[in-house]
Amino acid sequence: MELSTDIKISTDPIFKRISKVVPEIEWKIHAPLIHKINKLKKEKNAVILAHNYQTPEIYHGVADFSSDSLALAVEASKTKADIIVMCGVHFMAETAKLMSPNKKVLLPDMKAGCSLSSSITGEDVRLLKKKNPGVPVVSYVNTSADVKSETDVCCTSANAVKVVESLGVKKVIFLPDEYLAKYVASKTKVEIISWNGTCEVHEKFTAKEINEIKKQNPGIVVIAHPECPPDVINASDFAGSTTGMNNFVKKNQPKKVMMVTECSMSDNVQVENPNVDFIKPCNLCPHMKRITLAKILDCLEKENNEVLIPSNLLEKARLSVERMTSIGR
């Protein structure tokens, strides 16, 4: 299939940038969709936000802003666009709606969920608060608006320790990721009451796997996400949020690196760091991978899959996110 001149002119610079991680045979399918999306979003005054786990053709091809959950929440609060298309999962679209309640927020696939978000409900939080009266609740941003409405302050992996310590208390309820809770507990003297949620991507990594890769690749630098089990973090050279991992590679330029997180993250960072050799573990997030160029175009054309939040939850939930963004990284 030959691409038209208009499509080639608008998309060739993008392909040149990502050609190491996107095969040319796939590009012939992607390019027409990218061309249509980029044209349509201007016509509709829409902004496309993409999480770091999106595939390169989305992350580098159509996104106006790409980053981690904290930065996406901040960007959603600042945008002057009429429409926000969230290329991520449902809780991210909800967070964008919380931060921009008067904007139309679209999610290309409403089934794009999250194992962490689905592990806990607002009712679960209310029961925990009854068992631990007076103890503040810190919820990972990977939660529903229902949970956020029962939360004192949200956090991301980028600022979890800072958020916990900002409360000035001896004990907090930290939800829902048990591994992130253990990571935070290892970095602070604050007592952590945790939940038993896990990320279905990061929980699959093992220290045995990390150590085997180190043996096979002498000198490799291993960087892990705090949602990984503690033994994986201990076997790694650095642990940080997706932005922290990205910045680590940019700053240190290791000859060879393994990013212990979702597969597409390595592809996206490789584009920006061509001199670094990436050993890529392949634990894909099935929810993130529900987002495709075709679905982005469809929801932008039809303006369907709008994310709405009940008014009785919106204000309380938004306050917990605003507190998180005011604390920063």
Q: The CATH number of the domain where 129 resides is what?
A: 3.40.50.10800
| 133 plus 156 within the same structural domain | yes
Which is more confidently placed, 135 or 243?
Answer: 135
Structure confidence by residue, pLDDT tens digits, 275-300:
999 998 778 999 999 999 999 999 99
Residue 109 clears pLDDT 90, i.e. is over it:
yes
Instruction: For residue range 48-95, list pLDDT tens digits in order.
Output: 999 999 999 999 999 999 988 778 888 888 889 999 999 999 999 999
Mean pLDDT throughout 202-219? 95
In angstroms, rounded to a whole number, what is the distance separating the alpha carbons of residues 198 and 176? 8
* 87 and 36 within one domain: yes
180 and 207 inside one domain: no
Indicate if 59 and 130 belong to the same structural domain. Answer: no
Does the structure show a pLDDT above 80 at 242?
yes
Sorting pLDDT into bands at 50, 70 and 90, what band is 132? very high
In a domain, 248, yes or no: yes
Residue 257 within a domain: yes
Residue 321 lies in a domain: no
Overall domain count for the chain: 3
Q: Are residues 10 and 66 in the same domain?
A: yes
Which pLDDT value is given to residue 72?
Answer: 85
pTM of the full structure: 0.92
**pLDDT for 68:** 83
Q: 7 Cβ partners below 8 Å, 6+ apart?
A: 31, 32, 35
In a domain? residue 323: no
Q: Are residues 171 and 251 in the same domain?
A: no
Same domain, 80 and 15: yes
Co-location of 124 and 90 in the same domain: no
- Closest CA relative to residue 52, chosen from 327, 308, 272: 272
Q: Give the residue-averaged pLDDT of 211-234.
A: 96
Clarify whether residues 89 and 26 are in a common domain. Answer: yes
Residue 32 placed within a domain: yes
Q: Is the pLDDT of residue 318 over 70?
A: yes
Domain containing 154 equals: 117-199
In a shared domain, residues 142 and 221 = no
Contacts of 21 (CB under 8 A, 6+ apart): 56, 267, 268, 270, 271
